[in-house]
Amino acid sequence: MSVAYFRPNKRQNIPGQILLCLLVIYGAFTAAFTHNAEGGPPWIVLDLVNLAIHESGHVIFAPLGMFMGILGGSLMQLIFPAVVVATFYWQKDRYSMGFGIFWFFESLCNLSHYIGDARAQQLQLLNLFTGDPIHDWNWLLTRTHMLRLDRTFEFIFHTLAIFGMAFGIFVMVTAIYGVIVKPKVAQQA
């Protein structure tokens, strides 16, 4: 199934768009308001994609030094969905752009939990190359003397993520609404 399937300019795609929109709303609720059995954030499908992108960011940014190599995972996790948003903006595809906005802020929500875990270090970490994983945000906030602010950063980014995910959903819903309602209004006029 291609992304073109979800484009709002074709009326026959409306059921698929509505289904994806409902799944996004479910994912937003899950990401924003629930925790898994270990007390951490839940895993939804986008988180697995975000994890792969995050880990690739470490490799891509590693040539820029240790600090950028560690920060690169989180940067790439936000850059990738931002590029998706920009791509669909230029293509004037509001529905897909809304999904990209949702993805960006869901990724930020995911990162907010990681940042908030900097002192406690209770999240299970993935390490691809060495035996002992480094908690990115513990390392980064320790080096910048801001470790004591980990929970503050978590709150700020999590709150921003909730509003951003809601905005992404709003863009998707208005794109569907524009396809369903505008033609009916034009026919009545």
Asked whether residue 170 is assigned to any structural domain, the reply reads yes
pLDDT at site 180: 65
The C-alpha atoms of residue 188 and residue 49 are separated, in whole angstroms, by 45
pLDDT of residue 18: 73
**Is 6 part of a structural domain of the chain?**
no
3 part of a folded domain:
no
Return all residues near 136 (Cβ < 8 A) that are at least 6 apart: 70, 71, 73, 74, 114
Whether 153 maps to a domain, the answer reads yes
Average pLDDT of the segment spanning 69-89? 95
Tokens for 121, please give them.
Answer: 């270090």
Residue 79 has pLDDT above 70, yes or no: yes
The answer to whether position 116 is within a domain reads yes
Mean residue pLDDT of the chain comes to 81
- pTM, two decimal places: 0.78
2 falls within a domain: no
Q: Is residue 174 part of a domain?
A: yes
Who wins on pLDDT, 43 or 178?
A: 178
- 46 confidence band (pLDDT: 50, 70, 90): confident
Q: Confirm whether 24 is domain-assigned.
A: yes
Domain count, the chain: 1
Q: Which of 34-43, 64-73, 128-137 has the lowest mean pLDDT?
A: 34-43
Domain that holds residue 16: 12-125+134-188
Average pLDDT (52-63) is: 92
144-158: average pLDDT: 95
Encoding tokens for residue 14? 């409306």
Angle formed at CA 145 by CA 139 and CA 146, multiple of 5 degrees: 85
Q: How confident is the model at residue 5 (pLDDT cuts 50, 70, 90)?
A: very low
